Amino acid sequence: GAGVSQSPSNKVTEKGKDVELRCDPISGHTALYWYRQSLGQGLEFLIYFQGNSAPDKSGLPSDRFSAERTGGSVSTLTIQRTQQEDSAVYLCASSLGTSGRFTQYFGPGTRLTVL
């Protein structure tokens, strides 16, 4: 595709419900990242996939958060039993690689609101 796409663009849910956020990276990009950004804050790293390697989950804030990447392409971030503090914009990015000038290209994000 032309760029990174994410769906849904907006998600409003009730506390305690599970949500799934989807990311379609740029075709051919082997690296995929999930970030969270609260209003007026910087990017908080969540998880990183590189090719067929085991994902780097070091940024996941709790065991309610999980992510998978199927076939080295599409990724889904799942948040179980959502809490109000989970409200944020969830950004996905992809890159051709992780070294040199390989830059991360971001999707438009999913704005999650937990009531």
User: Which x/- pattern over 12-51 shows residues binding another protein (rule: CB under 8 A)?
Assistant: ---------------------x-x-----xxx-x--x---
Among residues 20 and 56, whose Cβ is nearest to another protein?
56
Q: Which residues of 13-51 are buried (b: 16+ CB within 10 A; e: fewer)?
A: beeeeebebebbbbeebbbbbbbbeeeeeeeeebbbbbe
Nearest residue to 34 via CA among 71, 64, 65:
65
99 belongs to the binding site for another protein (CB under 8 A): yes
Q: Given candidates 91, 94, 112, 114, which one binds another protein under the rule CB under 8 A?
A: 91
| Interface positions, 56-75, toward another protein (CB under 8 A) | 56
Q: Of the candidates 19, 36, 109, 114, which one interacts with another protein according to CB under 8 A?
A: 109
Q: What are the CA-CA distances from residue 71 to residues 26, 52, 91, 93, 114 (Å)?
A: 14, 9, 20, 17, 30
Residues at the contact surface with another protein, assessed by CB under 8 A? 33, 35, 41-43, 45, 48, 56, 91, 98-101, 103-109
